[in-house]
C-alpha cells in the first residue's frame, strides 16, 4: 500500500455481522517512524456535510485490500 492508492478495509476486531468492508478510500499519508504502519485515509460518505471524513488505520488491526494503484493528477 502506498499514498494515492484506493483501498477498502474492514476492522479485524469487529464480530460478525459488523465486520463489513468499507471503501473505496483514498490513502493520503503514511506516518513516519516510530508510527510505521499507520495511514491517513479519506473515507467517502461518512456523516459530514462535505461527504468525506479523514480516518487513521493500521495494518495490524484492519484487513486492507488495495483496489487500484496510486491515483495521480
pLDDT in tens, the chain (73 residues): 899 999 999 988 888 888 888 888 999 999 998 888 899 999 887 565 666 788 999 988 899 999 988 765 5
Assigned domain for 45 exists = yes
pTM of the model: 0.79
Q: How far is CA 72 from the centre of its chain?
A: 17
Q: Is 51 within 8 Å of 45 (Cβ atoms)?
A: yes
Longest pairwise C-alpha distance within the chain: 38
Instruction: Output the pLDDT for position 49.
Output: 66
Assigned domain for 40 exists = yes
Cα separation, 51 vs 35, in Å, equals: 28
Q: What are phi and psi of 68, to 5 degrees?
A: -150, 160
Instruction: Output the pLDDT for position 9.
Output: 92
Instruction: Output the pLDDT for position 27.
Output: 94
What residue numbers bound the domain in which 55 lies? 6-68
Assigned domain for 13 exists = yes
Assigned domain for 20 exists = yes
- Compute how many other C-beta atoms are within 10 angstroms of the C-beta atom of residue 59: 13
Instruction: Output the pLDDT for position 6.
Output: 94
Number of domains in the chain: 1
Q: Is 24 within 8 Å of 5 (Cβ atoms)?
A: no
Amino acid at each position: 500500500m502506498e499514498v494515492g492508492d484506493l483501498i477498502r478495509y474492514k476492522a479485524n476486531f469487529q464480530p460478525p455481522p459488523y465486520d463489513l468492508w468499507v471503501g473505496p478510500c483514498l490513502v493520503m499519508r503514511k506516518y513516519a517512524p516510530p508510527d510505521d504502519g499507520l495511514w491517513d485515509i479519506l473515507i467517502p460518505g461518512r456523516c459530514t456535510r462535505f461527504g468525506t471524513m479523514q480516518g487513521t488505520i493500521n495494518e495490524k488491526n484492519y484487513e486492507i485490500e488495495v483496489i487500484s494503484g496510486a491515483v495521480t493528477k
